[in-house]
Every structure is written in C-alpha cells, then in structure tokens.
Amino acid sequence: MGGSILVVGSVAFDSVKTPFGEVDDILGGSATYFSVASSYFAPVRVVAVVGDDFEDRHIAVFRKHQIDIEGLKRAEGRTFRWKGEYGYELNECRTLDTQLNVFAAFNPVIPEAYRTSEYVFLGNIDPDLQLTVLEQIQRPRIVACDTMNFWIQGKPDAVKRTLAHVDILIINDGETRMLANEPNLVRAASKIMDMGPETLIVKRGEYGVLMFNGKSIFGAPAFPLEEVFDPTGAGDSFAGGFMGALAHASDVNERVFRRSIIYGSVMASFNVEQFSLNRLTNLTRSEIDQRFSQFKALTHFEEF
C-alpha cells in the first residue's frame, strides 16, 4: 500500500430531501465522505472538529474503515449542521439551513504524527486555514485542494495565496469559471493553472469530470445509474477515491492520474446510490474493481 493521506475538512450532520426520500441528522461533511472513500485504497488521517453531540455510533463509522481519528477533536457545543434539498435536477442543490456551531471556531492543529503525511487534501474550508495547515506539514508529495464560490467571492486573494502552494485543485465547473473570471472552461483552466496548481480537475456532476494539466485534457463520463438517491458528498467521494488511488499507486505520472480519475468516479457513483454514507461504508474492493472495469468498457473504443 502507498503513502498515507491527510484530510482536513468538516465532519457534519446533514438533513437532506430529494424526490426519492428524506433523512435528518445523518453523518456527513467533506472530511467524512473523503476519508471513507479513500480508505479503500490507502491509510487515512482526519483533522476535523465535532461537538459533544457526536456519539460513539458516529465514531464507529471511522473505526470500521481503520481511519486514524487522532486529529478529530471534540469541542463543547453542537456539531456543524447542514440542510439541503434537491429537485429532479440533481446537479443543483438548494441550501435551506447552515449551522456552523463548533466548526465556526475550527482552527486545525495537525498532530505531530500526521505532519509527515505524503498526500494532503485540503477540504472546503477558509483558505487562510488551508494555508496554516500546509505550514504544519513537512514536505508533502502531493497537495490537493477544494474550495467553493463562497470563498472565491469573499476571500479571492486568500484563495490565490493558497493555490500558489497547491499541486491539484478539484472544483466544479461553475467555480472554475468564477475563479478565472472566464466563461470558457478551457481558457479558465489555463488561467487557474497559472495561479499555481499543475493539475485542475473539474467536477461536472452527472456530466462527469475533466482533467487539465497543461499538456493534455482527459475526460471521463459519470457512470450511468438506474437509481440516484442522494448526490450529497459525491464530489468529496470523488476526491477521496482519486487521492486514495493516487496514494496507492505511489507514482504521479499521467497514466496513474487518469486511472485515479476513474476510481474517483467509481466512488462517487456508489455514493449517490443511497442516502448519506449508507452505500459507501458497505462496499467491497471487488465491487469497486468491477465497476472500474465497467467504466473502462464504457469508454473504450478502437480505431477503424
């Protein structure tokens, strides 16, 4: 197995409504989805904060996947809560309520044992905090990062300062255009790579993913599913699968990147099949590899 992965982000309780059902106060958060998805490939360490309402049954999810939670700190108060609703256009979510609670004062302190992590994923948190995380890490091999329109609009200079230290940026197509101030996705990608990241991965929901690295463009479709129940956490599951496969390979060439994109897409496709982490936590490696093979068959063609 390859190098260890450090993820810094949110652990939360989500309430989600889709046309196919509704759930309240289920385990969620970017670091949760990421760490479970990546745990199928490589050792994972989590830095996040939870409240005193975080129970043993929630901790058990991390322990089941042998995720190192020394960096999961408990604070007095309630855990971060998010409530959202999806219509039949599952690419679009309407946020109904956000309660930061203990997450509002989150100041990530990286445990000594985590500071030599080879692969680092900075979840969608304040870009200034992302930078303080990197200052605590000793020579990581790969740093990947997520951000969102809230930070791009509200703290653009801080986002750019962080991106100068990032190898891979993983964001959606709307955020790509906003960050670059450029409507054309290809030109936007070029502008963003000039900010620091050598690789840009653009998540496009049900339309798949695009990877830009200045030398080539690689595209993968979303896996065609008969049933999609809940898209929450799909992007973080993608990032977890991608980084996990990258760390497992212990190499960073183009071939490995492309294969890791597909593994990321595989994990995202499993995630949306059920609410919360219900599908993601009950996978086998053989199921993952079988869907990887189906992905390969889906996109393979021969020249005449």
- Compute CA distances 24 → 12, 82, 131, 283, whole Å: 12, 10, 33, 23
Query: How far is it, in rounded angstroms, from Cα 169 to Cα 51?
Result: 29
**pLDDT reported for residue 304:** 82
What's the mean pLDDT in 256-263?
97
**pLDDT reported for residue 192:** 98
Please state, for a pLDDT cut of 90, what percent of the chain lies above it.
Answer: 88
pLDDT in tens, 199-211: 999 999 888 999 9
Residue 44 pLDDT exceeds 70? yes
41 contacts: CB under 8 Å, gap ≥ 6: 1, 2, 241, 244, 245, 247, 248, 263
| Topology at the third CATH level for domain 5-299 | UDP-N-acetylmuramoyl-L-alanine:D-glutamate ligase (3.40.1190)
Question: Do 258 and 13 touch, CB atoms closer than 8 A?
Answer: no
Question: Do 228 and 272 touch, CB atoms closer than 8 A?
Answer: yes
The mean-pLDDT minimum among 100-109, 171-180, 182-191, 222-231 falls in 222-231
Taking the CA atoms of the chain, what radius of gyration do you get in angstroms?
18
Banded pLDDT at 1 (limits 50, 70, 90): very low
Domain ranges within the chain, ordered by starting residue: 5-299
Residue 220 pLDDT exceeds 60? yes
> Token pair of 150, please?
């809230």
Query: Which of 150, 154, 142 has its CA nearest to residue 171?
Result: 150
**pLDDT reported for residue 205:** 85
Distance of CA 12 to the CA centre of its chain: 14
pLDDT in tens, 89-100: 777 788 999 999
Strands 168-172 and 142-145: parallel
Q: What is the mean pLDDT of the chain?
A: 94
Residue 2 pLDDT exceeds 80? no
93 vs 257: which has the higher pLDDT: 257
